[in-house]
Structure 1
Amino acid sequence: MNTRRRISLVIPFYNEELNVDNTLAAIARVVDPQRYDWELVAINDGSRDATLAKLQAASPSNFELIVVDLSRNFGKEAALSAGLSQASGDAIIPLDADLQDPPEMIAAMLEKWEQGFEVVLARRADRSSDGFLKRQSAAGFYRVMNRLSEVKIPDNVGDFRLMDRCVVEVVSSLPENRRFMKGLFAWAGFRTTSIDYARPEREFGETKFSGWKLWNLAVEGITSFSIAPLKIWTYIGVFVALMSFGYGSFIILRTAIQGVDVPGYASLLTVVLFMSGLQLIGLGVIGEYLGRVYLESKRRPPFVIRSVQQRGGKAAE
Structure 2
Amino acid sequence: MPARSVLTVVVPCFNESAGLLDFHERLSAVMSAIGESWDVLYVNDGSRDRTLPLIEALTVRDPHAGLLNLSRNFGKEIALTAGLDHASATGAVIVIDADLQDPPEVIPSLVAQWRQGFEMVYAQRAARSGDSWTKRTTAHGFYLLMQRLGGRVLLPRDTGDFRLIGRRALDALLQLREHHRFMKGLFAWVGFPSVAVSYDRAARTAGESSWNYWSLWNLAIEGITAFTVVPLKIATYAGLLVALFALLFGGQLVIRTMMFGNHVPGYPSLMAVVLFLGGVQLMTLGVIGEYLGRIFNETKHRPLYLVERYSAAGLLERYGAAGPPQPNAGQEV
TM-score class normalised by the smaller sequence:
over 0.9
Contact 1:4 1:35 in 2 (8 A): no
What is the aligned partner in structure 1 of residue 288 from structure 2? 286
Q: Which blocks of at least 5 consecutive residues in structure 2 are unaligned? A: 320-333
1:314 Cα shift? 9.2
Contact 2:60 2:316 in 1 (8 A): no
Contact 2:20 2:98 in 1 (8 A): yes
In structure 1, distance between residues paired with 2:295 and 2:3: 45
Contact 1:9 1:95 in 2 (8 A): yes
- 3-state SS of paired residue (1:173): coil
- 3-state SS of paired residue (2:174): helix
Deviations 1:17-72 (A, max 9, x none): 11221111111111137831111010000011111111111147775211000000
1:158 to 157, 160, 183: 160
Supply the RMSD in Å over aligned alpha carbons: 2.0
1:152 Cα shift? 1.5
User: Is it true that 1:212 corresponds to 2:188 in the alignment?
Assistant: no
What is the aligned partner in structure 1 of residue 273 from structure 2? 271
What is the aligned partner in structure 2 of residue 247 from structure 1? 249
1:312 Cα shift? 4.7
What is the aligned partner in structure 1 of residue 45 from structure 2? 45
In structure 2, distance between residues paired with 1:100 and 1:109: 16
What is the aligned partner in structure 2 of residue 23 from structure 1? 23
What is the aligned partner in structure 1 of residue 77 from structure 2? 77
1:292 Cα shift? 1.0
Deviations 1:59-90 (A, max 9, x none): 47775211000000001000000000000112
Contact 1:64 1:314 in 2 (8 A): no
- 3-state SS of paired residue (1:253): helix
The structure, 1 or 2, with the larger RCO (C-alpha pairs under 8 Å, 6+ apart) is 1
Contact 2:9 2:95 in 1 (8 A): yes
Moved more, 272-281 or 256-265: 256-265
In structure 1, distance between residues paired with 2:270 and 2:3: 78
Contact 2:124 2:199 in 1 (8 A): yes
User: Is it true that 1:226 corresponds to 2:228 in the alignment?
Assistant: yes
In structure 1, distance between residues paired with 2:291 and 2:252: 37
Identity of aligned residues (%): 45
Deviations 1:113-140 (A, max 9, x none): 1111111110111113211111011001
Contact 1:33 1:62 in 2 (8 A): no
* Amino acid in structure 2 at the alignment position of 1:281: M
The 1:297–1:189 alpha-carbon spacing in structure 2 relative to 1, beyond 3 Å, is same
1:295 Cα shift? 1.0
Contact 1:118 1:192 in 2 (8 A): yes
Moved more, 18-27 or 70-79: 18-27
Contact 1:180 1:221 in 2 (8 A): yes
What is the aligned partner in structure 2 of residue 114 from structure 1? 115
Contact 1:61 1:312 in 2 (8 A): no
What is the aligned partner in structure 1 of residue 190 from structure 2? 188
Alignment of 1:77-116 (within 5 A): 77-89=77-89, 90-116=91-117
TM-score for both structures, normalised by structure 1 = 0.95
TM-score for both structures, normalised by structure 2 = 0.90
1:178 Cα shift? 1.0
1:166 Cα shift? 1.0
User: Is it true that 1:124 corresponds to 2:125 in the alignment?
Assistant: yes
In structure 1, distance between residues paired with 2:307 and 2:272: 54
Moved more, 117-126 or 249-258: 249-258
What is the aligned partner in structure 1 of residue 325 from structure 2? none
User: Is it true that 1:306 corresponds to 2:275 in the alignment?
Assistant: no
